[in-house]
Structure 1
Amino acid sequence: MLPQLERRVRCPWHAYYPAQKAGRQTPIAGGHFPLIITLNLPAASGALLAAAGNIVCQLQFPPQTATTPTDYPHWLAARPQLIAANKQASKQTLLVLEQLLSPRQVNSATLQAHILAHQIGICGSGLGGSVALELLRRSHLVTAASGATNFLASQKWAVACQQPQLLVQTAANPGLTPIFKRARKRAYLYTAPHLLTATAYAQLSAAFFAASFAQQSFQPPMTQNWLSKS
């Protein structure tokens, strides 16, 4: 697990959740729901995931870009700043997750009472996707992760992950292929001809998380450009 951040670090976040009626600050619907943390995704993605029956916590980090890796060890060694940004964002995300699950945290107490602590997903784009895949390998709290990115800026890239993971890359930047090859099972690699829209990615991730939380195989809506390990 990543080292703890200083507890005084500020991590602003927004929440979306299944509600009793439409509108801001309306009561949460009765029952318990999976928790999904979104990283560097627009508000519409959080709303879409919440409409699918999830409590959503939305975080934003400064964006990072990187070329597609061809040799991960050498590629990582040449990018210490990217690794540092990935590690910092991972620590902040983990801190927020721990606070969301803490019964002593007043600000999240209303949400915490409705969270299914054994069904937690992380979903991100770009650097957010790298952080999502990082925490799936580092934290026992994370059940499944979805990343739309072309890299995993982590020394954990070679870990043979067994938890469900959805890897979305573009044909021009197939940087997640080495990550998929290291997966043991329940991994899905989609190589899109072009970058998916945020809405399309959120819809894809919602279906993936629903299947993963139900411990079922994911049946992607597309049939081309998919590789899977079940």
Structure 2
Amino acid sequence: MLVGYLDSFYALPQLDQQVHCPWRAYYPAQKAGAKTPIAVGQFPLILTLNLPASCGASLATAGNIVCQLQLPAHTAPTPTDYSHWLAGQPQLVAANKQAVKQSLLVIERLLAPQQVNSAHLQAHIQPQHIGVCGDGFGGSVALELLRRSHLISAASAATNFLASQKWAQATTKPQLLVQNAAQPGLTPIFKRARKRAYLYSAAPLTPAAFTQLSATFFAASFAHHPFHLPHPK
């Protein structure tokens, strides 16, 4: 499938000022390249957080409209007791909450036809099929988005933590949890899931491998088909 892309930005409200939020979108296209016409039809929307540009292009090749955001990078030790761990990470929790709000504003604008710089994308988005895919801190944001927003129908995350008071909130929506076997910080999240949660513990995946796994996961989730995890290598 041919892939087109475009670069733009939104001016997002934050307290008493506007925040300049750049983004890049990849999409199935009639011709490959920058600002080329979108392919005929409607496609799922996937928001990627802190993933390389090549990952967005790969997800678009699989038949998705992809909006890429780069959030500030945050790292943290792996939680062993979430309740106590969160109490010691107030700045990380606040940053996670702010990134969730920003990401939701971006999604809302992508779905709004009055947005001049993305109206042509909006007409091709399947609003009932919206996923979020994040790495590291972006993975934590993706998992909280799944819990906070009715707009998000599935999420995949490669991270070692969920920096949110929502960590204990179970969800029936599909979630793919990818963790380093040496840093199993998502295991408590998986244990509290009611259904349709998939835990992949292995050696750290490359962004390309994580994206390929996520593409299969989203395709199965949006089609309401079972998702089969590969055997960890």
Which of 72, 80, 95 aligns to 1:70? It is 80
Q: Which has the higher contact order (CA 8 A, sep 6+)?
A: 1
Percent identical residues: 71
Which residue matches 1:178? 188
The equivalent of 1:198 in structure 2 is: 207
SS of 1:157's equivalent? Answer: helix
- The residue that corresponds to 2:227 in the other structure is 218
Alpha-carbon offset, residue 172 of structure 1: 1.0
Greater than 3 Å deviation, 4+ residue runs: 4-7
Q: Is the 8 A contact 1:86 1:130 kept in 2?
A: yes
2:170 to 152, 156, 160: 160
Deviations 1:64-104 (A, max 9, x none): 11111010010000000100110111111000000000111
Distance of 1:105 and 1:145 partners within structure 2: 25
Contact 1:5/1:95, CA 8 A, preserved across alignment: no
Q: Distance in 2 between matches of 1:151 and 1:163?
A: 19
The equivalent residue for 1:228 is: none
3-state SS, counterpart of residue 161 of structure 2: coil
d(CA) in 2 for partners of 1:10, 1:136: 24
RMSD between aligned residues: 1.3
SS in 2 for 1:66: coil
Who is 2:92 aligned against?
A: 82
Cα distance in 2 for residues equivalent to 1:224 and 1:15: 31
Match of 2:117 among 103, 107, 121: 107
Residues 90-124 of structure 1: CA distance to partner in whole angstroms, max 9, x if unpaired? 11100000000011111110000000000000000
Q: Indicate conservation of the 8 Å contact 1:5/1:91, yes or no.
A: no
The structural deviation recorded for 1:224 is 4.0
Give 1:181 shift. Answer: 0.4
Can you list the C-alpha shifts for 1:173-202, whole angstroms capped at 9, x where unaligned? Answer: 10000000010000000001x210010000
1:36 corresponds to? 46
Aligned length: 220
| Matched AA of 1:143 | S
Instruction: Pick the aligned partner of 2:64 from 54, 61, 64.
Output: 54
Question: Aligned partners of 1:122 and 1:214: how far apart in 2?
Answer: 16
Structure 1 residue 8, shift from structure 2 partner: 2.7
Choose the corresponding residue for 2:146, options 136, 155, 161. Answer: 136
| One-letter amino acid of the structure 1 residue matched with residue 179 of structure 2 | Q
Q: Per residue, is there more strand in 1 or in 2?
A: 2
TM-score by length of 1: 0.93
TM-score by length of 2: 0.92
What is the CA distance between 1:10 and its match in structure 2? 1.9
Q: Which amino acid aligns with 2:190?
A: F
Match for 2:165: what amino acid?
Q
What SS class does the counterpart of residue 166 from structure 2 fall into? coil
Q: CA deviation at 1:5?
A: 4.6
